[in-house]
Amino acid sequence: MGKAPESTQIVKGYYVLKYKLTKWGTGRIPYYFFFEPNENSLISWHANMEEFNETNRQYQQLADQFRITNEVNNANNAERLNCTSTKYGNSVYTNCR
């Protein structure tokens, strides 16, 4: 892997290392690797998709909040500058006098 793990811990006598591996088109998925400490051998590994989905949900909430704040700021600025906006499809065109 080449990089240090994002976290390490000992659970029930096993070393547990967490890495976030990038999957193109999906994102950074957390993977957990379980090692036998005395033998330095990999026992098991798995992707934690629940953690991945929860992180994405939190990012989406943050993006939605930024979008709402941006829309409010744009509306306030448009009103202050005597502007009108027209929506065409996914685009918004603004005309200020």
pTM equals 0.60
Q: What are the backbone dihedrals phi and psi of residue 48, each rounded to the nearest 5 degrees, phi first? A: -105, 90
Q: What are the backbone dihedrals phi and psi of residue 61, each rounded to the nearest 5 degrees, phi first? A: -60, -45
Number of domains in the chain: 2
Q: In which domain, by residue range, is 34 found?
A: 7-47
- 59 and 74 inside one domain: yes
Tabulate helix, strand, coil % of the chain (nearest 5). Answer: 35, 45, 20
Do 5 and 19 touch, CB atoms closer than 8 A? Answer: yes
- 11 and 41 inside one domain: yes
- 62 and 83 inside one domain: yes
> What is the residue-level pLDDT of the chain in tens, covering all 97 positions?
567 778 888 888 889 999 998 888 888 999 999 999 888 899 999 999 999 999 989 988 888 888 777 777 766 666 666 667 777 777 777 776 6
- 11 and 39 inside one domain: yes
Task: Tell me, yes or no, whether 2 lies in a domain.
Answer: no
Q: Which two tokens stand for residue 24?
A: 């193109």
- 43 and 67 inside one domain: no
Question: Which stretches of the chain are DSSP H helices?
Answer: 49-80
- 57 and 79 inside one domain: yes
Do 49 and 57 touch, CB atoms closer than 8 A? Answer: no
Task: Tell me, yes or no, whether 21 lies in a domain.
Answer: yes
Task: Tell me, yes or no, whether 1 lies in a domain.
Answer: no
